[in-house]
């Protein structure tokens, strides 16, 4: 079981792994992890989330219940019964300290029941919970100095912070109308922190949702990367208007831009950076050519264009594939070298790890359709961030609020 020390000031046994969630609930005072200056208390942020319960007569604050549920899920709980059982095993002194920090009227009321946990989690405001979770994770990463990528940015410029955007349909999760849940996420920083996520409704798509997604992300010194679907003029205008930069691939969805890039004299542009990787029974060589963008390029705010080629061979030298990718960036040559551009383009694939986490077969609390309420999340985290603070179930007003024992995964 995860040693989730909820109250501060308790020593951590040597050699034990304590999650970021535990440190956040302890106010950044766990001995094994050291202090966390300038980080907001996770409980204070969770207290801002509304859960729909009436204000009078509540023994269990929403922050305490959400914190216990999240810690239980991180510890491996996969059902509301398991979450309630995990909460019941929390030492009484630790639980009382947690409730007191949350401002409970009766700190010694004991652990919440399964029904209470179910009501709080299913009634919580999903966008608000996503927002406070992303904010807390970004605070933690910023305080630890894990956002900026070293070597990205000019000599006199602050290091650049990658913000990778991509969407994923969460298979096994359904909306009340039967449609699948599709989430668009922004993964920020070098280690990859889910800074924000937003649901893409069944009657829309990712393109118009990227702007409200990025509205909730601090884009100071940021470089937004995404797939070719988001190579849109409106997106480029928005990112530029926020004072950030972008690196976007160009494909057939922007035929004018693609043809203009393809017509550039690439045979006269030298290869300025190359890497060779050997593994998985193949040898992969990547090269990049970068040139100043022509003034008549049919896309706004572009400073440079690039051509990345990937050549894959078997270990015996037999060619397997050759792929070329064109793209544009608002970064000029003084702020991003060809190597930095290549690293940022390749770093876009880091968000695939988040998709892997959300795929079926991976142990995660993404629930299936259940009696009473369809599923949503608890999937606001990449694999290397042991903190998961999103919803287990989506609200469905057509159903009553009876707890369900349906497994979470």
**Using one digit for the tens of pLDDT, what is the confidence trace for 158-198?**
688 899 999 888 766 667 777 778 888 888 887 677 888 88
- pLDDT score of 44: 86
The residues with which 211 forms a beta bridge, in sequence order, are none
pLDDT > 90 fraction of the chain, expressed in percent and rounded:
37
* Range name among 45-49, 191-195, 343-347, 367-371 with the lowest pLDDT average: 367-371
Range 266-270 average pLDDT:
96
* Range name among 137-141, 284-288, 395-399 with the lowest pLDDT average: 395-399
Helices (H) and strands (E) in the chain — how many of each?
Answer: 12, 9
* Average predicted confidence (pLDDT) for the chain: 76
Contact (CB, 8 A) for 124 and 49: yes
- Inter-CA distances, 66 with 26, 40, 60, 74, 92, Å: 15, 17, 10, 12, 18
The residues with which 223 forms a beta bridge, in sequence order, are 162, 245
- Inter-CA distances, 226 with 30, 101, 120, 140, 185, Å: 37, 40, 35, 24, 11
Range 141-147 average pLDDT:
68
The residues with which 408 forms a beta bridge, in sequence order, are none
Q: Which residues contact 233 (CB under 8 A, 6 or more apart)?
A: 299, 300
Q: Which residues contact 329 (CB under 8 A, 6 or more apart)?
A: 245, 246, 247, 248, 302, 303, 304, 305, 306, 336, 341
- pLDDT score of 40: 58
Range 256-277 average pLDDT:
95
- pLDDT score of 126: 79
> 3-state DSSP call for residue 323?
strand
- Inter-CA distances, 115 with 120, 318, 383, 394, Å: 9, 61, 29, 16
pTM, two decimals, is 0.72
- pLDDT score of 77: 81
- pLDDT score of 130: 79
Tokens found for residue 354: 């988040």
- Inter-CA distances, 248 with 32, 210, 223, Å: 41, 13, 10
- pLDDT score of 278: 93
């Amino acid at each position: 079981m995860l040693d989730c020390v909820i109250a501060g000031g308790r020593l951590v046994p040597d050699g034990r792994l304590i999650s970021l969630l535990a440190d956040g609930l302890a106010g950044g005072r766990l001995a094994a992890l050291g202090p966390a200056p300038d980080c907001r208390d996770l409980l204070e942020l969770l207290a801002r989330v509304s859960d729909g319960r009436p204000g009078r007569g509540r023994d269990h604050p929403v922050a305490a219940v959400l914190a216990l549920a999240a810690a239980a899920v991180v510890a491996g709980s996969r059902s509301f019964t398991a979450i309630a059982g995990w909460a019941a095993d929390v030492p009484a002194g630790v639980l009382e300290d947690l409730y007191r920090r949350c401002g409970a009227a009766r700190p010694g009321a004991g652990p919440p029941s399964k029904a209470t946990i179910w009501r709080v989690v299913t009634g919580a405001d999903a966008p608000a919970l996503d927002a406070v979770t992303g904010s807390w994770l970004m605070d933690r990463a910023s305080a630890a100095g894990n956002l900026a990528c070293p070597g990205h940015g000019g000599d006199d410029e602050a290091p650049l912070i990658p913000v990778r955007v991509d969407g994923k349909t969460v298979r096994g999760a359904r909306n009340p109308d039967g449609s699948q849940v599709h989430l668009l996420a922004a993964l920020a920083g070098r280690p990859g922190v889910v800074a924000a996520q937003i649901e893409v409704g069944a009657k829309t798509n990712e393109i118009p949702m990227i702007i409200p997604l990025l509205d909730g992300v601090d884009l100071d010194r940021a470089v937004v990367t995404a797939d070719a679907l988001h190579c849109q003029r409106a997106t480029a205008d928005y990112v530029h208007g926020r004072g950030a930069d972008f690196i976007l691939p160009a494909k057939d969805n922007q035929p004018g831009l693609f043809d203009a890039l393809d017509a550039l004299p690439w045979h006269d542009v030298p290869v300025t950076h190359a890497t060779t990787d050997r593994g998985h029974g193949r040898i992969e060589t990547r090269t990049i050519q970068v040139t100043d963008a022509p003034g008549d390029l049919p896309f706004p705010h572009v400073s440079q264009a690039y051509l990345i080629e990937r050549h894959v061979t078997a270990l015996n030298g037999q060619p397997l594939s050759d792929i070329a990718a064109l793209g544009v960036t608002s970064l000029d040559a003084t702020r991003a070298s060809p190597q930095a551009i290549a690293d940022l383009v390749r770093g876009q694939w880091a968000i695939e790890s988040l998709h892997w986490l959300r795929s079926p077969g991976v142990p995660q609390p993404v629930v299936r359709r259940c009696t009473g309420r369809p599923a949503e999340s608890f999937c606001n985290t990449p694999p290397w961030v042991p903190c998961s603070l999103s919803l287990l179930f989506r609200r469905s007003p057509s159903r009553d609020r009876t707890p369900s024992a349906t497994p979470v995964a």
